[in-house]
Amino acid sequence: MSGKQIIISEVGARDGLQTQPVQVSTADKIRMLYALSATGLRRIEVTSFVHPKIVPQMADAEDVLAGMHRAPGVRYAAFVPNIKGAERALAARVEDFKSGVAVSETFNSLNVRMSTGQAMQAFADISAFAKGTSSQVVGVLGTAFGCPYEGDMPVERCLPLIEVMVEGCAKLIYFADTTGMANPGSIARLVEAAQKRWPEINFGLHLHNTRGLGLANALAGLERGVTDFESSIGGMGGCPYAPLAVGNICTEDFVHMLHGMGYETALDLDALIAAARLTETILGAKLPGMVLRAGKASELHDAEKKRDKAPA
């Protein structure tokens, strides 16, 4: 595996914070983003340009982008649901407009108050708006593997939506397991079908750990040549319209696994762990990341100390 570099897009500041029960201050978001920018990440999703009544946690989108430190070489992204959001994002100097659609009509209507057809038109409008600017559109296919309201999403239902994104000049498209219903088999089926039909497009994975299969699903993607993944510091995340959902795959846990397998990431694992600890301090709560609790596998322990504590 050595020599194959994996690109991680960090989504904790957006996907991770949007469902937090306490309002995180603009200053603390900026602190968190500064720590993440110092880890070697080259893609960071900062916020979303949605109506503040829908996602109050993201009401300070412009203030965060105006106040944060921008590290050289990092592309900063935001979720953009419509053309008004794209206009705001461009004014705030967002490089990547994350935009897309849920395969599930029901989920789409709950999440962005649009039908699937309306969301696809919004994507086309955003893509056209981005042309000729310094920004680019990145496609996101939500509920690509299943919906808690409609059930499994067959590959055949996904392909026409992917085609619209390809026609909209998206060179990178993430398949999102929005509600954690995927398994390694369903990951393999969609990735293989998309790669066969559009070999020129870079397909990535946005995975949640709702049912404990997050890293197993990531491994299924890796085995099929996927090199772009979205993850969240500390394993934060969730969607307001995904019943009982838990966080995204944990960035530092995923990087720990990748490094152990010989993949290159250009990321500083210790810096990621420090960023996760800072995020815990900001939130005043423990995060679900495992390496944060157990430490790296390379950190050895003193056997003599264990013997001293052993019962006689």
DSSP for residue 279: H
CA 138 to chain centre: 12
Please say if 147 is a catalytic residue. Answer: no
At 70, which helix (H) or strand (E)?
Answer: none
C-alpha span between 6 and 226 (Å, rounded): 8
The token duo for 134 is 């310094």
Which residue is catalytic, options 147, 158, 239, 250? 239
3-state secondary structure 161-203: HHHHHHHCCCCEEEEECCCCCCCHHHHHHHHHHHHHHCCCCEE
Q: Find tokens 């795959």 and name the residue.
A: 249
Nearest to 104 by CA among 151, 166, 140, 165: 151
Q: Indicate which residues carry an active-site annotation.
A: 239
